[in-house]
A = this chain, B = another copy of it.
């Protein structure tokens, strides 16, 4: 699709493709090229219908609907499915919201493929952790304001599998919590318990980069109440950079 640069698409291979944060035009050129040549597409809940519309009508489409706590297919079955279709010599696209290696369990799928001897390619995607704040006018870094950012997830299964060091996370300039709406009251308590000031500004963006985007601003002290009416998926941003949202908000979807 880029005139001077075309890489082959191979049969018997699995492509772990990031679909991006929501806005379908934020998929990569490589990702779209692969979708248009896919023979099998295995996809998740948060993938935009406009992307699936690019897949050939003859392709096999398999919805595996991974949501926290309720999987249509368990992780191991997804991995077996990818291996099976690759062994049948198909062009297999595993399409994931955001980036496949940012809380997408793409690393586990890559390991299963490597262990089974199946060739694979990773096609990174635009991560919601950066793009959702950007669509709300919030740069995760800003000179003189934020020289570092960190990303965690609010998925129950991921949180319980890991001991996060909240005393360290509380001190990072910009902290982004993906899928964090249900855990927002717990998050704001935890950050304050680890010394983050109650007046630290916070933004919660629901359905970021889509026509349904909503952004609520507040502080660690009041954001849980202010954002209680928002719907999932939502991205939480903690730090001084959220103060820029008022001036830099540029994306105003039609109501």
Contact = CB atoms under 8 A, between A and B. Distances in A.
A48 B186 CA distance: 44
Nearest to A133: B101
Interface residues of A, number: 84
Contact of A26 (B30, B53, B159): B30
A180 interface: no
A2 B168 contact: no
How many copies of the polypeptide does the oligomer hold? 2
Contact of A101 (B26, B54, B111, B140): B140
A225 interface: no
Interface stretch (A56-64, A82-90, A115-123, A226-234): A115-123
B130 A101 contact: yes
A147 B139 CA distance: 22
B25 A33 contact: yes
Nearest to A26: B28
A193 to B, nearest CB: 15
A97 interface: no
28 contacts: A2-B53, A2-B54, A3-B54, A4-B50, A5-B24, A25-B28, A26-B30, A101-B130, A101-B140, A102-B130, A107-B248, A108-B142, A110-B248, A119-B250, A121-B250, A124-B130, A125-B126, A126-B126, A127-B127, A144-B162, A146-B162, A148-B152, A149-B150, A165-B171, A168-B168, A168-B170, A169-B172, A172-B172
Interface of A: 1-5, 7, 18, 20-21, 23-30, 32-33, 50-51, 53-54, 99-103, 105-108, 110-111, 114-115, 119-127, 130-131, 133-135, 137, 139-144, 146-153, 158-159, 161-162, 164-165, 167-173, 241, 244, 247-248, 250-251
